[in-house]
Structure 1
Amino acid sequence: MIHKKLFIAITFLANTLLLQAQTLIVQVKPAGSKTWGYAGIDGKLIIPAQHEKCHPFSSNGYAVVFNAKARQYQFIDMDNKQLVAEQPKFAIKDGLGFAVSGFQDGLALLQLENRKWGYMNAEGKMVIPAIYDDGNDFNGGFAAVKKGKEFLVINKSGVEKAIEVPAIDVRDFSEGLAPIKIADNKMGFINEDGKIAIQPQFEGVGYFKNGIAWAKTFDKKVGYIDKSGKWVIEPQFEAAKDFDKVSGLARVKKSEKWCYVNKDGDIITIDDTLVWGDFSEGLAEGKKGSQKGFYDKTGEWVIEPKFEDVRDFHNGYAAAKLNGKWGLIDKSGTWVIEPTLDSIKDVALVKK
């Protein structure tokens, strides 16, 4: 009993120290402002609204911002101090169809003045030189890059591994596997050694999350596969999204109607809504009349529809709009940042 109590006390202390070493931060555009800043979940500005363009903080405490005067991207920390980079002139993937990620797995993907891509660490050093024609973010210690017409897998030391089949596209790794597309437009997955893990045989695939990924056959049906490529939910949907870890549900479209499926393949329909959002942290966006709220996996309204607009939950909080202004709510629907902002983005969890 003493050992058990000691274990509980140590676990509680460890969790407390972990929470103390992290903070929550969100991008905000105050009312009437043309520029962005960063705030805590109490709504108080941590970094003034002075950035023409900015992006979420990565978990290591740096965010990408655009310096309008210098017409240049920079990394800043939570004290608004610029990270001194050995290559100060760089570009990032910040265009249509690209999600700016900043540091991922400890490295940031940058394009230098030679128009090539490489990777910088949090000390500002280019630890993998800019020699690639394209690149992806690191995940689990590996990334896919393109050199000339060839795709390769690299580790964080820059060691290259050839991919065993010619590819026309390779995407990010997730849970040790990366989607690959070959010349006949078939898609499958490679592992971190560049070896085929799941034979290219699909028209499209998603990313593995909790051991499952969606896959689309050439007769336009979508189902879910495991890491061996075996169907765990047979292809039967017109569209399918990722599984939410908390609710255990994924949004799917069947017979032109949106519904949900669990990992056993059981279909769950929720009728008391006009829109069906993806589940995120156990809750999904729904709509009644012109108002939006959130329901749980049983279809019960946990947060009654009373907002003009909402976004998914991230780290326990969601953006919500009321009377033309944005704020932040918790999972009870209570405002933690009052709706006074012209815009607000998703909450990020950052190391202090």
Structure 2
Amino acid sequence: MSHRINIYNITTPSKIEDSDVMVMEWNYEIPLLLQALFIEGGEVGKNIYNTHTDPDYWGLYYELKPGIENLRRFYHFIEKHPLELALDTGKFLEAKTKLFNYLENLPNRYLHIDAWDVFNMDDTPHKYQASQLLASLQQNNQAINNVIQADDISLLDFKLFTNGAAGGFDNFAALLNFSAFDFGWAVIYQEHKAPGQVEIFEENGLYGLKAVNGDVLISPGYDDFYEFDYNTDLAVVVKNNQFGYVNKAGEVAIALSFDDAFDFEGDYAVVQKGGKIGLITLNGQIKFLGNYDNIKLLQPYDQFCSAEINGKHGIINVDGIVILPFQFDHEIADNGTGWFYQVEENGKNCPQIFSDTFKFLGNLDPAFIDPWQLFGAENFVYQIRKHQYQEVNKLVTTNNEVLLTEYEKVVQAYPGGILIYKAKRYGLFKYGKHLVLEFLYHQIIDLKLYLTGSLKSYIPAIPADIQFEPYVFFKVIKDKAAGLYFSIANFEAWLLKPVYEDIKPIYSGFFAVKLNGKWGMISLSGKIETAIEYDEILETIVDGEIAYALKDDEIYVIREFDVLPAGKTNLQQYMDVNIQEGYSFFDRQIQFRMEAYLNRH
């Protein structure tokens, strides 16, 4: 029997909810095509489904929305290189549309990777295996990001990914075009992927519809019968040159009253009637009809359309109101995302770029623009990186108002803020607050820390209305002094002032702090849990234990309510794993101290 990895879309990492959705069940591994989903908030935590090996049942948790956007970037890159990558562009685009429609309609905030079944193949503790899977996903996502940033398919070299990422394929193109993956769509759990299967059939040149059990739902009578749209379960049908829509129950959903009709994209579809082109709603009501030569819905759907009149292109909204005048020689495109829009301009080397609200941002290569959605901003915020027509980096609003300029680089963008580097110092920018951390700090490090349980139980000052927003813990270093800084939405706070020599996360809500050359344990509330007197403090891989603490010749295990001499069995297991992994947990010197401790006891 094969061993499986399960991925769930969940409401909370601490318990099962009725709204949870099984997203994927796949043998042995997460296919590389979908690993870009696992980009933000990655943390090791207890499983909520497979809990059969108490207390050793650990998995991973990630934020869904940033993962969708990261995966979209990757698929957009693939789409840009059809000749080298996707052999059947039509099938790729169809699978891409289905995949992102599915992901965007998932109801919950988190993705939970439950690899319990696969982890059971190895005697190594599940917590350790989960941390290794986390590291593998980080490495592969870094490789994917490098590919996208460089716009270079040669970097899709399996040598740059983790061992096993290739999945037995010789190259990425072979993996991408493997029929069993269907460009990533077939990986989605079947029960949620394809309810209500029906079959379009032809008889004597006319088309009908039947259920999978053979029951005829629509007798053959249509001149043409197009495929069902995944999003709406509606299909365009044609009879006597009139177009309309039917559903999978065999009912006419929208009467055959149009001269032409197209699939729904979001809540609207493009139709033609009486020589005019416009949009209809899902219930068949005409939104508008106008004297256009062509209309195309843009992403994100339900907002804007690219339209053409007499060879000139412009933008209208879904009410038919002109947003950009009809003065462009080329179609205005959504860049595959709707984060910004672009149009080629005759006589110009670079396209015109418009924001998500169609404010002009400049003539530049789209590779130089980075869009972000920040808390407090109704629309996107953009970084426009310096290029041949612009000497400095700029951070601007959707209206092209400058928020920040003359910095060297953006280190990382988060939903709550942007980490920025300038003049050999780091600062943290927040929309509406400017710099909440000025450019004073030698390092600001994202600890990539995820807490189990309620965030307010750790930090009561967080307003209730933002407690479920994405958050970040930063280790902030100034003049060799380290502190702990927390950021979520429009709230931020120093949890530990920068007075320590070092800080490192150990366990959910617990940190090791170094002062005067010695280590101690401190909780998120600032309460000192142990004396600052140890030579080293290390995270354990054994459930129920928080850390190991080394002092002189002794080794202690720190638990939530006490500190005891370390037990031989668990300590030996930790040492064995450390050797197997090339001393990745601690160095040989600490290994020797542990061996000496075991020999004495």
Normalised TM-score (structure 1) = 0.48
Q: Higher strand share goes to which structure?
A: 1
